[in-house]
Amino acid sequence: MKLPTYLTNMRGMLEKYLFSISEHEVSYTKRANFYLVISLLVQLPAFLFAGYYFETGMLFGLVLFAIFTAGPVLLYLQRANCRLVSVAIAISSMCLSGLLIHLGRGMIEMHFHVFVSLALIIATLHPLPILVAAVTIALHHILFWLYLPMSVFSYDASFSVVLLHAVFVIVETIPSVMLAIFFRNQLLTQAETLDGLEKLSDTLLRDISHNLEQLAQSANEQHENVETVEQRKSEVFHSTQKSAEQVSLVSTITHKAVEYVEQGKEEVSKMVSLLHEIESASDLVSDIAKTIEDVAFQTNLLALNAAVEAARAGEAGAGFGVVAEEVRSLANRSSEAARDTSEKISIAVQRAHAGVEFGEKVNDRFLDISNQIKDITERVETLTHIREQQSGALSQMEEVFRTLQMASKTHQSDTLANNTLLKEAQREISQYTSGSSASDPQQ
């Protein structure tokens, strides 16, 4: 059977106000209903005392108190975050106010319970429970004034007094509704703000996490690059050490070669000097040979003259002629020996001249070799100086690489620590937003 339109609209409105509840209000409504139910139950000693003090019946008060509070308690146990529970609490509060007024025999001070209950119902942050509470207490006053007037007022009150009480209830209901709406809007705004902050924080944390991951990856790559460069540096350092050893060995060899060349120069110089002396001595010997040859020539002439004179003398000069012939023969042999010696001395002189020229050439070659070796020595010393500078630079590079390695390890540790702190911050933000959206009515 299809319901009329107005009934359908009314049902939709009731469902909206009684059962419909936003996501942000679920946790708060549950906690608010819990504390309001507790606030109802803790009033039991006051009702028992009123029944005892005014002699209106403790058992009567206990039974009615149990009846009035049973509804909100059962509804809370079934659907704790439902707004219907808040409405039931509002009705139960006003029923308890009426019961307390009755147990107090209409004592005017007992009416304060109505205003205190209305103030507590503001914690529901919805106008419907407040309006239902106001209507409930209004019906109570009117009906009880008509049928049990002494249960409402301790004196013979007129209807105008009932209307005055209604005015006070209306005066409190209006600002209570406004406060409830205001705080409800604040709660929704705060919840939406927290949702926005949570989404923003999630986005920022994701971005930061992504950046940290990229930074960690870059740090790992940098660490690997540093290790690769460190390995290449070790190879270069080892190669440089070997080159330095070879340079040192070459430097030693060149210095020894310079010493040997200097010694060779001295020996060649001595040999050239001796060859010059031999040449000079050969010239003297050649001169002596020429002198001997001249003497032999003169002796030969004298022997020839002596032979001529012996011939002239006849038999008396025959012995002298034999001597002269022997002398001439000796002079000829001396002349031939002198000529032969002169030829040999000439050959020796020529060879001495050639030896001097060769010695001078050898000396010049030794000078060239000495100059070349000195140039090589200077270059080797320059290489040694450069090698020392390279060794110092490599030592500094080693310190720099060691610092880079330490910085890379520290950077990796910092990245891991930042990731841990980031996760903790994300967890704390989530807990904070959850705690804020589920804050109790006292907050």
Domains and CATH numbers, the chain: 5-157 (no CATH), 240-419 (1.10.287.950)
The H or E element containing residue 366 is helix 318-437
Q: With beta carbons less than 8 A apart as the criterion, state whether 126 and 180 touch.
A: yes
Q: Residue 99: its pLDDT value, please?
A: 94
- Split at pLDDT 50, 70, 90, the class of 50 is very high
Query: Of 95, 93, 106, 109, which is closest to residue 33 (Cα–Cα)?
Result: 93
Q: Residue 246: its pLDDT value, please?
A: 72
Q: With beta carbons less than 8 A apart as the criterion, state whether 437 and 27 touch.
A: yes
Residue with the larger pLDDT of the pair 60 and 420: 60
Q: Residue 74: its pLDDT value, please?
A: 95
Query: Of 203, 199, 406, which is closest to residue 211 (Cα–Cα)?
Result: 203
Average pLDDT, the chain: 78
Q: How far is CA 285 from the centre of its chain?
A: 97
Q: Residue 53: its pLDDT value, please?
A: 93
- Tell the residue number behind the tokens 């050439």, with chain if given: 361
How does pLDDT run across 168-202, given as a tens digit for each residue?
Answer: 898 899 999 999 888 888 877 887 777 777 777 77
- Split at pLDDT 50, 70, 90, the class of 125 is confident
| Region 296-322 average pLDDT | 71
| Region 113-123 average pLDDT | 93
| Region 350-357 average pLDDT | 73
Rounded Cα gap, residues 186 and 199, in angstroms: 19
| Region 367-389 average pLDDT | 74
How does pLDDT run across 153-171, given as a tens digit for each residue?
Answer: 888 888 888 888 889 898 8
Distances (CA, A) of 133 to 88, 113, 153, 177, 371: 9, 12, 20, 11, 122
Q: With beta carbons less than 8 A apart as the criterion, state whether 40 and 96 touch.
A: yes
Q: With beta carbons less than 8 A apart as the criterion, state whether 31 and 441 touch.
A: yes
Share of the chain above pLDDT 70, in %: 73
Range in 138-142, 178-182, 280-284 with the lowest mean pLDDT = 280-284
- For residue 185, count other CB atoms closer than 10 A to its CB: 11
Rounded-to-5 percentages of helix, strand, coil across the chain: 90, 0, 10
Q: Residue 223: its pLDDT value, please?
A: 67
| Region 88-95 average pLDDT | 95
Rounded Cα gap, residues 157 and 92, in angstroms: 26
Q: Residue 247: its pLDDT value, please?
A: 66
Residue 439 in this model has a pLDDT that exceeds 50: no
Q: How far apart are the first and last CA of the chain?
A: 48
Residue 111 in this model has a pLDDT that exceeds 60: yes
Q: Residue 61: its pLDDT value, please?
A: 93
- Split at pLDDT 50, 70, 90, the class of 9 is low
SS3 156: coil
| Region 36-62 average pLDDT | 94
Rounded Cα gap, residues 277 and 287, in angstroms: 15
Range in 56-60, 98-102, 269-273 with the lowest mean pLDDT = 269-273
Query: Of 422, 419, 420, 417, which is closest to residue 201 (Cα–Cα)?
Result: 422
Q: Over the range 53-65, which residues count as b (16 or more CB within 10 Å of their CB) and which as e?
A: ebebebeebeebb
Highest mean pLDDT among 5-9, 57-61, 312-316: 57-61
Rounded Cα gap, residues 72 and 37, in angstroms: 7
DSSP secondary structure code for residue 376 in this structure = H
Q: Residue 129: its pLDDT value, please?
A: 93
Query: pTM for this one?
Result: 0.51
Residue 390 in this model has a pLDDT that exceeds 90: no
Residue 267 in this model has a pLDDT that exceeds 80: no
Residue 261 in this model has a pLDDT that exceeds 50: yes
Q: Residue 438: its pLDDT value, please?
A: 46
Q: Residue 412: its pLDDT value, please?
A: 63
Rounded Cα gap, residues 396 and 384, in angstroms: 18
Q: Which residues contact 399 (CB under 8 A, 6 or more apart)?
A: none
Q: Residue 275: its pLDDT value, please?
A: 67
Rounded Cα gap, residues 279 and 353, in angstroms: 7
Q: Residue 441: its pLDDT value, please?
A: 41
Q: Residue 339: its pLDDT value, please?
A: 74
Q: With beta carbons less than 8 A apart as the criterion, state whether 154 and 105 touch.
A: yes
